[in-house]
Chain A
Amino acid sequence: MTIRSAVTGHADRRRAEFDQFVEDSSTGLLRTGYLIVWDLAEAEDLVQECLLAVARRWPRVRRMEHPYAYARRILVNLALRGGPARSRRQEELREAGVEREPSDDEAARELEDVGVRAELLVALGRLPPRQRAVLVLRYLEDLSEAQVAEALGCSVGTVKSSASRGLTRLQDELALDRSLIAKESS
C-alpha cells in the first residue's frame, strides 16, 4: 500500500464515520431542536448549522467519548444564542393575535375540548426558550441536572432553578386555562 492510498483510505473512513454520525444523530437533534425553538423549519436550519459545525471539527469530535452530546451542546447553543431576534418576533406574533381571546365563544369551546397534553404543549410553547430547553433536556432526553448544565454551559444550580420556575409556570398556565374554561362554562 502506498502512502497516498493509505491517506486516502483514512480520509474515506472519516467521511464514512461522519456520514454515519449524521444518520444516527439527525433524528434526535431535530426532535430536540424542534422542542426548543418550537418551530420545525427553524429547527431544521439549526440542525443543519449544527452538523456543519460538527463536520468542520470532525477529526477532533470523532475522538470524543460522546460526539452526540457535543453536537447537542452546539445545537442548544445555537438555538439559545440566536434567541433575541427570534424571541422578539415570536413575542410580536403573540401580540398579533395568536393568543387566545377568552371572549370568543368558539375559541372557548375549542379550548374546552383539548386535553391536558394539548394544554401542556400550549403552555410549553409560551415558556422562554431557555426554560423550555431545560425541561426538554431533563424530561425528553432524560439528562441529569449535571448533564443539562453541561449542555447549556451553566451551573447545576441554574438548571435546578430554571426547571423549578418552568414547572411552576406550567402549573400556573394550566390552572389559568382551566379556570377560564370553568368561567366560560358557568
Chain B
Amino acid sequence: MNDMLETELREALTARADEVPASAVRRVRGRDYRPRTRDLRPPVAGGALACAAAAGGLAVALGLSHPSPAFAGWSAHPTSAKPDQVSAAGSSCLAKLQAISGSGADRAVSAKSGKPLLPPLSSMSQVLSDIRGPFTFLVYANSDGSANAACFEAPGFTSASEMRAAGPVTPVAADGVSVVRQSQAMSQGNGYTFIEGQAGSGVSQVTLNLTDGSTVQATTENGWFAAWWPGSVGATTATLTTSSGTTTATLPTPDLPSCPPSPPGDQQSTCASSSASGSRGPTVGMQSGGGTTAGSMVPMSAGHLSLRTPAASHHASRR
C-alpha cells in the first residue's frame, strides 16, 4: 500500500511543482541579489540585522544611525508632496499591483477546487499617501479594511505587496491603533522597514518608537497610519496623540525572520532580513468602541485588484 502511495505521491508532487510558471522563475532570476559592496561581501550597515540570542528572540539591528545613501532625502517626519508626486506614484503602483495580482497560474488558487482562494475585489481605494522627500508610500484598502495593499515608490523603483486579514477585522478603538503589518523589504539592495495599520477616529498622530531609541512620525489619514524607515529596526511601541493627550500603545512584536544556517566557519554571521510578514495583530487601544473612519478615499480603477491568500504577502519590485 505504501509503495503505491509513494508512487502516487511522487507523481502528485511533480505535477504540483510543474505548476510553477516560467514567469515566476523569471521574476526570481530578475532580481539583483548582490550586495552593493565590493566582492559580494555582507553590508555593514543599513539593512543588516545582527542575530542576537536575546531573550524572547528579539534581534538587535543596525538602523537609522547610518542610513543608506540610497535613501537620501528620507525624513523621520512626513513631508509635502511635490506636484504630481502622488499621482505618478499611484500610476506606477497600480501597474505594479496589477502585474503581481496575477491571473491564471500566477494566482493563488485552492488546491482542491482550483478556484481563487479569495473572492475577487471589484475595487480598492487609496487610503493613505506617506511622503518622505522623494519617496512615496501608498496604502490601499477595501471598505472594511480586511484586504489591503501597500506600495513603495522610490526614484526608479517600485515595490508593491498585498495581503488580506485572515479573519474578521475587529474594529479599532477610537483612541487606539491596529497594526496590519510591520514588514521589511528591499529597495535596490537596501533594506527598509514599513508599518501600516488602522488608526481610531480619535487618533490624530502616531509616532513610532523604534527599538534603537529613534522615532518616526507616521502619516495618519482616513483612519489609517503608515510609515517606513531605512534599515531593519522594528517599532515596538507607538505614541498616540488624541484630543485628551498622548498615550503609549504596545505594538505586536514584528515577525522577524530567523537567521538561516551559517556556512561552516562563518563566525561573524549577520542575518539580513528582506521581508517579514506580520500577521494582523490585536487591536491596540485602551477603550472599546469607535470604529474605522471612512473619510475620503481615492478610488482605484474597479476590477483591477484581487488579493492573494492571507498567508501571501507578495512583494514584487522593479528597478
What would be 12 A-B contacts, judged by CB atoms less than 8 Å apart?
A10-B39, A30-B28, A40-B24, A41-B309, A48-B28, A59-B40, A89-B166, A90-B311, A98-B112, A117-B15, A124-B12, A125-B111
The yes or no answer to B78 lying at the interface (CB within 8 A) is: no
Chain A binding surface, main DSSP class? helix
Min Cβ gap A30→B in Å is 5
Chain B binding surface, main DSSP class? loop
Number of interface residues of B (CB under 8 A): 71
Within 8 A of A (CB), among B1-46: 1-2, 5-6, 8-17, 19-21, 24-25, 27-29, 31, 33-35, 38-43
> B24, A55: Cβ atoms under 8 Å?
no
Across the interface, B274 reaches (CB within 8 A) one of A29, A43, A49, A64, namely A49
Cα–Cα distance between A42 and B5 once the two chains are bound (Å): 28
The yes or no answer to B84 lying at the interface (CB within 8 A) is: no
Cα–Cα distance between A76 and B39 once the two chains are bound (Å): 27
The yes or no answer to A26 lying at the interface (CB within 8 A) is: yes
Chain B residues with CB below 8 A from A125, complex form: 111-112
Q: Give the interface centre of A10, A11, A31, A77 by most chain B CB atoms within 10 Å.
A: A31
The yes or no answer to B108 lying at the interface (CB within 8 A) is: yes
> B311, A42: Cβ atoms under 8 Å?
yes
> B20, A34: Cβ atoms under 8 Å?
yes
> A39, B28: Cβ atoms under 8 Å?
no
Q: Give the interface centre of B38, B265, B279 by most chain A CB atoms within 10 Å.
A: B279
> A31, B312: Cβ atoms under 8 Å?
no
> A92, B167: Cβ atoms under 8 Å?
yes
> B262, A57: Cβ atoms under 8 Å?
yes
Cα–Cα distance between A43 and B24 once the two chains are bound (Å): 10
Cα–Cα distance between A58 and B186 once the two chains are bound (Å): 19
Cα–Cα distance between A124 and B266 once the two chains are bound (Å): 36
Within 8 A of B (CB), among A93-151: 93, 95-96, 98, 100, 110, 114, 116-118, 120-122, 124-125, 135-136, 139-140
Min Cβ gap A126→B in Å is 9
